[in-house]
């Protein structure tokens, strides 16, 4: 392709060459070289140097169809170019020099059709080679050959340890095996070949070939003595170290825009959105960038703009910016995080560390009482930070164990009035928050997953325990809540476990509930832990799922117990104070053209019996059927669901006054 392109350029530039050439190239031809050593080329231009736009050296192994291009540099006297020794691996070489002039013309040496008739450089060590060089057959003429090149593919770079030449003779049944001859850069290596009617291969002893570019030429005849046209292709041989340094690149991406102009009841609701994504790989590293920008971004809301960058290798993943990780289903499961995450992948042992921000600070409403100079702050959100560390141990493909430790805390300093209220004067003004309290949250989750029979049987179990402080605005105190009582712990815990020392990891005060069941003494001076009372843990959660996929049935059983005090700030949508048992079956019939789904679930709340006077029971039964007869035929789906919710309450009494009351019966 390159050869044809330059031929076309020559035809287009002939008038310029004939009419505008104002100088010539002066070059002493290089006649020989030493393989593996660098080779320098010099050239002079007899005209005005300012008229030379570019000067390039084109060089190739003799008989090759394409050239390697090296730019020549001007040192104030002459133009020079250096060819590295790695590109000079032995055998005859061919080259020419081409100058592009500023007015559009070109000149070369040799000056007559340099692409087809270049200058030749011989190998200085050719006479000492261990293999015998033979005169190549002329490339013109011969019967068209139908070789199938298996390895190495034309133009590729391969490591020395992977070197093998393989050519299929499937399309050449009448070839004479004894006539096959294979040359590398003009040197005959036929004695190393292994031949069969279907394939020929060539392997060489280690160290026979040096790194560099090689041209393979294959000669053969048929059983009648007629010669086939020679087959020629090139490849590059590199060392293992050079292979690590080479860069393989691929790149793709997408950009999108959205413009919307709306007017609702006289209020404009315009929107401009830009999205972009670019992905690629460099030397086995997968890279990516993505971003979203919208015109309605505002500090009064959570961030809408986002930016993400990631890099992935076979051993490490790194992600920066905005992302939605799924760490575990009882800690962080798909919520938005703005920060960084790194994952170390060692097959048997994996380690994930995440640090970032779940929420950013938002301050929407402030009011000033001018008489007392007190600011009332409402409708606000604290910045919420998060850290997660998760080691994972894998036992083959059938068992893995994840241990997740998550810490999320609201940053009370993020809503400092001196930084967020323009007219606030810290010397004369005071402030009071009216709304949500800042929270501190610690969750420890264990997850075991067992996969058997090619994942036809999958069992997953999560067991998590959380510890939450519902209000950390007051700081650290030597007290904790057990049940309905607040107990002082200053004299109970050792010094290294004092609340002050633990505040870096978790803030303890009277708004913290002890996560382990305990019995408090009558004088409220001490308590005794009762860890064996599993069902009394106020912040315990376990979630079990069993999936069986046999005989066209996909059976799923789910058992979930989430205690009322369990909390994960990174998973605010998780329903608590529930005990759920559910079983479902998806039946596939007639090659998946008929699918029947059955599901039954039972759920109740008030697990500890402390916050409600009654228990709510919910039972549901559902069935669905889908018929998909095939292409161009309609799909029919029908479903049925029975839902029952009841509690222990029979009568509701509402007192209207001191003397009147209305009783309303509850019909179950």
pLDDT digit string (tens) for 242-284? 665 555 556 788 899 989 888 878 788 888 999 999 988 776 6
Residue finishing a domain among 94, 128, 162: 128
Does one domain contain both 114 and 194? no
Residue finishing a domain among 218, 245, 272: 245
Q: Give the chain's mean pLDDT.
A: 83
**497 found inside a domain:** no
Look at residue 283 in the predicted model and tell me its pLDDT. 66
What pLDDT band is residue 21 in, cutting at 50, 70 and 90? very low
Look at residue 92 in the predicted model and tell me its pLDDT. 81
Look at residue 223 in the predicted model and tell me its pLDDT. 80
Residue 89 predicted with pLDDT over 80: no
Look at residue 542 in the predicted model and tell me its pLDDT. 93
pLDDT one-digit tens code per residue, 436-467? 899 999 999 999 999 998 889 999 999 999 99
pTM: 0.61
Stretch among 43-47, 598-602, 657-661 having the lowest mean pLDDT:
657-661
Query: What total number of domains does the chain contain?
Result: 2
Look at residue 668 in the predicted model and tell me its pLDDT. 46
296 vs 613: which has the higher pLDDT: 296
Residue 649 predicted with pLDDT over 70: no
Percent of the chain beyond pLDDT 70?
87
Listed residue (412, 364, 418) closest to 385, CA to CA: 412
Mean predicted confidence (pLDDT) in 200-221? 88
Residue 109 predicted with pLDDT over 90: no
Residue 131 predicted with pLDDT over 50: no
Q: How far apart are CA 238 and CA 275, in angstroms?
A: 41
Tokens of 284: 């086995």
Residue 286 predicted with pLDDT over 60: yes
Look at residue 332 in the predicted model and tell me its pLDDT. 92
Does one domain contain both 111 and 177? no
Residue finishing a domain among 72, 96, 128: 128
418 vs 322: which has the higher pLDDT: 322
Does one domain contain both 152 and 112? no
**617 found inside a domain:** no
Highest mean pLDDT, choosing among 213-217, 606-610, 619-623: 619-623
372 vs 657: which has the higher pLDDT: 372
Q: How far apart are CA 190 and CA 188, in angstroms?
A: 6
Stretch among 2-6, 434-438, 568-572 having the lowest mean pLDDT:
2-6
Does one domain contain both 55 and 94? yes
Rg (CA), the chain: 39
What pLDDT band is residue 7 in, cutting at 50, 70 and 90? very low
As beta bridge partners, residue 442 has: 407, 467
Does one domain contain both 6 and 123? yes
Stretch among 498-502, 515-519, 657-661 having the lowest mean pLDDT:
657-661
Look at residue 229 in the predicted model and tell me its pLDDT. 87
405 vs 613: which has the higher pLDDT: 405
Look at residue 93 in the predicted model and tell me its pLDDT. 84
Mean predicted confidence (pLDDT) in 110-131? 70
What pLDDT band is residue 416 in, cutting at 50, 70 and 90? confident
Cβ atoms of 180 and 218 closer than 8 Å: yes
Mean predicted confidence (pLDDT) in 52-68? 81
Q: How far apart are CA 288 and CA 335, in angstroms?
A: 21
> CA-based angle 482:483:488, to the nearest 5?
25
Look at residue 18 in the predicted model and tell me its pLDDT. 39
* CATH number, domain with residue 104: 2.60.40.10
**3 state SS of 412:** helix
Does one domain contain both 157 and 238? yes
> CA-based angle 488:490:494, to the nearest 5?
135
Find the domain containing 102 and state its range: 2-128
Look at residue 140 in the predicted model and tell me its pLDDT. 46
Look at residue 561 in the predicted model and tell me its pLDDT. 93
**231 found inside a domain:** yes
Does one domain contain both 34 and 102? yes
Cβ atoms of 143 and 229 closer than 8 Å: yes
Stretch among 354-368, 487-501, 533-547 having the lowest mean pLDDT:
487-501
Look at residue 613 in the predicted model and tell me its pLDDT. 66
600 vs 518: which has the higher pLDDT: 600
**199 found inside a domain:** yes
Look at residue 5 in the predicted model and tell me its pLDDT. 39
**81 found inside a domain:** yes
Neighbouring C-beta atoms of residue 663, cutoff 10 Å: 9
C-alpha dihedral (628, 631, 634, 639), degrees to nearest 10? 20
Does one domain contain both 8 and 122? yes
């Amino acid at each position: 392709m390159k050869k044809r392109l330059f031929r076309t350029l020559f035809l287009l530039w002939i008038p310029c060459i004939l009419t505008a050439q104002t100088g010539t190239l002066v070059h002493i031809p290089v006649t020989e070289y030493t393989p593996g050593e660098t080779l320098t080329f010099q050239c002079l231009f007899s005209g005005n140097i300012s008229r030379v736009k570019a000067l390039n050296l084109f060089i190739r192994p003799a008989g090759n169809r394409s050239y390697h291009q090296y730019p020549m540099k001007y040192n104030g006297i002459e133009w020079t170019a250096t060819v590295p020794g790695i590109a000079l691996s032995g055998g005859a070489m061919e080259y020419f020099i081409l100058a592009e002039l500023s007015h559009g013309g070109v000149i070369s040496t040799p000056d007559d059709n340099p692409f087809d008739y270049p200058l030749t450089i011989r190998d200085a060590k050719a006479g000492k080679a261990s293999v015998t060089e033979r005169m190549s057959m002329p490339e013109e003429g011969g019967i068209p050959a139908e070789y199938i090149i298996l390895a190495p593919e034309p133009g590729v770079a391969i490591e020395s340890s992977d070197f093998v030449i393989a050519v299929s003779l499937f399309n050449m049944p009448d070839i004479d095996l004894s006539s096959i001859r294979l040359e590398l850069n003009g040197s005959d290596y036929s004695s190393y070949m292994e031949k069969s009617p279907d394939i020929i291969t060539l392997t060489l002893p280690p160290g026979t070939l040096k790194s560099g570019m090689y041209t393979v030429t294959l000669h053969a005849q048929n059983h009648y003595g007629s010669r086939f046209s020679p087959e020629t292709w090139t490849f590059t041989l590199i060392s293992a170290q050079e292979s690590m340094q080479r860069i393989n690149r691929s790149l793709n991406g997408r950009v999108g825009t959205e413009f919307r102009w709306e007017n609702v009841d006289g209020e404009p609701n315009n929107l401009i959105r830009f999205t972009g994504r670019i992905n690629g790989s460099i030397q086995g590293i997968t890279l990516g960038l993505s971003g979203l920008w919208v015109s309605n971004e505002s500090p009064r809301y959570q961030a809408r703009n986002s930016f993400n960058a990631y890099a992935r290798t076979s051993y490490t993943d790194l992600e920066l910016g905005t992302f939605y990780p799924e760490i575990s289903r009882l800690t962080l499961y798909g919520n938005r995080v703005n920060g960084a995450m790194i994952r170390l992948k060692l097959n048997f042992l994996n380690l994930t560390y995440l640090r970032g921000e779940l929420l950013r600070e938002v301050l929407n409403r402030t009011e000033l009482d001018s008489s007392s100079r007190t600011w009332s702050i409402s409708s606000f959100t604290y910045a919420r930070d998060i850290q997660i560390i998760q080691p994972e141990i894998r036992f083959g493909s059938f068992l893995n164990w994840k241990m997740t430790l998550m810490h999320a805390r609201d940053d009370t300093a993020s809503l400092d009035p001196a930084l967020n209220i323009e007219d606030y004067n810290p010397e004369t003004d005071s402030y009071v928050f009216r709304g949500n309290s800042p929270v501190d949250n610690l969750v420890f989750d264990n997850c075991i997953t067992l996969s058997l029979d090619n994942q036809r049987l999958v069992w997953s179990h999560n067991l998590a325990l959380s510890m939450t402080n519902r209000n950390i605005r007051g700081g650290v105190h030597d007290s904790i809540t057990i049940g309905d009582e607040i107990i002082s712990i200053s004299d109970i815990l050792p010094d290294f476990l004092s609340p002050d020392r633990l505040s870096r990891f978790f803030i303890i005060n009277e708004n913290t509930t002890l996560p382990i069941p305990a019995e408090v003494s009558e004088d409220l001076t001490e308590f005794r832990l009762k860890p064996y009372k599993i069902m009394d843990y106020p912040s315990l959660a376990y979630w079990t799922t069993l999936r069986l996929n046999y005989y066209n049935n996909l059976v799923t059983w789910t058992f979930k117990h989430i205690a009322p005090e369990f909390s994960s700030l990174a998973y605010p949508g998780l329903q608590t104070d529930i005990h759920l048992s559910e079983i479902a079956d998806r039946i596939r019939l007639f090659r998946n053209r008929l699918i029947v789904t059955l599901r039954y679930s039972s759920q109740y709340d008030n697990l500890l019996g402390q916050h409600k006077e009654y228990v709510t029971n919910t039972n549901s039964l559902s069935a669905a059927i889908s018929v998909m007869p095939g292409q161009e035929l309609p799909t029919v789906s029908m479903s049925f669901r029975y839902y029952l919710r009841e509690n222990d309450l029979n009568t509701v009494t509402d007192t209207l006054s001191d003397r009147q009351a209305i009783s309303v019966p509850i019909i179950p």
